[in-house]
């Protein structure tokens, strides 16, 4: 019974943490970083200010909210290790896999673009957020290169540029900032953005036409 109670408390604590982080993300998007207080987050989450404080400082909640909204997880794993991405990359039709990955990224960017703008703005005045912003960019750049190297080693793609140059272009085109400029600022539809992203990835990666037999 003690083990059951301990497990139940852990599950309740995890659910509360997830609710606080989700509420924080909503508040940051609605009010901005500076105007969002722990009390505002607590009211949105339906918990006490002390509960919010125990979850993390404001900057930590901003970072956790981005991770949770973008990946559906609290924390970080290598991009290719996420179950949904691994399933996409396992498609023997590499051209179709690239199109599916483009849609996955586009859908996530649609959810997280607002919060990414908040992080980018907050990074100008908060050293910890600035560190996260810089580290996130570097991490995604490196993970993009890792994925491309793996696809090249499997004989599935043959980019005309170097691996790092190709990775940099893929990485740049998939950033939430680009989604905001095209969809929010230029008024593109989400489907038009998805199509463009998929075409861009395909052009940069150049799938090998006989990739099914390369596996």
- The CATH T-level fold of domain 77-215 is Tetracycline Repressor; domain 2 (1.10.357)
Per-residue pLDDT reduced to its tens digit, 73-100:
555 667 667 788 888 988 889 999 999 9
- Domain 1-76 carries which CATH code? 1.10.10
Burial tier of 43 (Cβ tally within 10 Å: 0-12, 13-18, 19+): middle
- The helix/strand/coil state of 37 is coil
Ranges 73-82, 116-125, 137-146, 180-189: which has the least confidence: 73-82
pTM for the full predicted model? 0.82
pLDDT of residue 85: 85
Residue 3 has pLDDT above 70, yes or no: no
Average pLDDT over residues 172-188: 96
Per-residue pLDDT reduced to its tens digit, 132-169:
999 989 999 999 999 999 999 999 999 999 999 999 99
Q: How crowded is residue 206: how many other Cβ atoms within 10 Å of its Cβ?
A: 14
pLDDT of residue 116: 94
Contacts of 134 (CB under 8 A, 6+ apart): 123
Distance CA 83, CA 197 (A): 21
pLDDT of residue 54: 95
Distance CA 94, CA 50 (A): 49
Contact 152, 163 (CB under 8 A): yes
Residue 214 has pLDDT above 80, yes or no: no
Distance CA 119, CA 27 (A): 13
Distance CA 63, CA 116 (A): 10
Average pLDDT over residues 56-66: 93
Residue 61 has pLDDT above 90, yes or no: yes
More confident residue, 38 or 72: 38
The β-bridge partners of 194 are none
The β-bridge partners of 157 are 207
Q: What is the 3-state secondary structure (H, E, C) of 154-197?
A: CCCECCCCCHHHHHHHHHHHCCHHHHHHHHHHCCCCHHHHHHHH
pLDDT of residue 75: 52
Residue-by-residue DSSP string for 67-79: HHHHHSSSS---G
Domain ranges in the chain are: 1-76, 77-215
């Amino acid at each position: 019974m003690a083990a059951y109670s301990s497990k139940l408390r852990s599950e309740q604590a995890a659910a509360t943490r997830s609710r606080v982080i989700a509420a924080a993300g909503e508040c940051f998007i609605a009010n901005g970083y500076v105007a969002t207080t722990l009390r505002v987050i607590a009211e949105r989450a339906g918990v006490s200010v002390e509960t919010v404080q125990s979850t993390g400082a404001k900057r930590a909640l901003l970072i956790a909210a981005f991770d949770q909204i973008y990946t559906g997880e609290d924390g970080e794993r290598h991009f290719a290790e996420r179950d949904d991405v691994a399933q996409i990359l396992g498609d023997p039709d590499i051209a179709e896999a690239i199109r599916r990955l483009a849609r996955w990224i586009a859908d996530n960017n649609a959810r997280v673009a607002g919060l990414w703008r908040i992080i980018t703005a907050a990074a100008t005045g908060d050293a910890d957020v600035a560190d996260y912003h810089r580290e996130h960019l570097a991490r995604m750049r490196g993970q993009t290169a890792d994925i491309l190297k793996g696809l090249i080693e499997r004989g599935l793609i043959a980019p005309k540029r170097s691996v790092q140059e190709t990775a940099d272009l893929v990485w740049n085109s998939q950033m939430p900032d680009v989604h905001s400029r095209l969809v929010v600022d230029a008024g593109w539809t989400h489907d038009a953005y998805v199509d463009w992203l998929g075409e861009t990835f395909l052009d940069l990666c150049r799938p090998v036409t006989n990739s099914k037999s390369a596996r």
